[in-house]
Structure 1
Amino acid sequence: MPEAAAGAAFAAVAMGGAVGWYAVAQSWVAALGTALLLIDSAVQRLPDALTMPTTVGTLVLLVAAATHHESGSLVRAVSVAAAAGVLFTLFALGGMGLGDAKVAVSIGALLGWRSWQAAWLGLVVSFLLAAAVATVLLVTRRGHRKSTLAFGPFLIIGALAAAVLTTNT
């Protein structure tokens, strides 16, 4: 399973067509995101030992992309990262985990660099995928109304989908 998840993540990065430091940033998130996805799926926890390096590494690589004048926007990336962090921290007050807020910062930065469209699409796809899985779990009686569902995997999959489906603007 880990190999298939990593392969799918790197295939999505390749299909997105990114180059340069931005491609390295996407690969960084794909590598650590795969580990986060698998851990969150198994234990419903996103460890700081991985969320923090994911965020710091993503921001450092996006600064390198900006320094090399790659297509994208560092200001937009930081803006989306900050907004995602605040939004998901507010969600944490309602029951979502703080790990999701930490992952949302790196995902927000990565997609924000690409475009506003990518940032919104990543968020929407994440919630739609989670809703679809929750619905299937309810309908098949494998879950109930009070069941918990790890959201980190949906954030990571939504981000990869958005990176594939959008272009730099």
Structure 2
Amino acid sequence: MPTSTIILDAGHGGNSLGGAYGFRYEKDDNLRLALEVGKYLTEYGYRVEYTRTTDIFLSQIDRVNFANSLRASLLLSFYRMGEELCINEQEVSFEVDSMDSISESIAINIALELRPLGFINYRIVVRTELPILRDSHMPAMTISVGNLKSTYDNYLFDTWFNEIAAGIARGIYSIIPVYS
């Protein structure tokens, strides 16, 4: 029986910094979190592939083409919110390919896992114009854990980093079978 493959995509990279808060760059938080979530998923028995494991830039088209070539069970892309006004503090935000989908179920489960860690708000938005969601041949979603420009959200992100990664992995594990 084959093992399910999960593709983890650390958003931004290389000269694409994403958001910045002092000397903290979104691309770095995204990569750290993707790699840590991958460790937990591997422990569950999934085959985990990454669109990047170092600080390089890949277009969304390159990322989704790579994922499609592996016929994975899920493509999960990591980000941090970066709004100047921190009206969405303590939030986890998801973008999914469609509602009433595997992606939406995973998003809800991840949000429930992260709630005890202080991320008490969540939102799920359908985005059909993003190549990583629109062009994937598998369930696809983005996750943004906290606002990069919120001192408190960065405190939560850093303090509960391992627990956040474990919660994201549990949210996936509760929906995607390890063996396909």
Q: Tell me which protein shows more strand as a share of its residues.
A: 2
TM-score, normalising length from structure 2?
Answer: 0.34
Please give the TM-score of this superposition, normalised by the length of structure 1: 0.35
Structure with the higher helix share, 1 or 2? 1
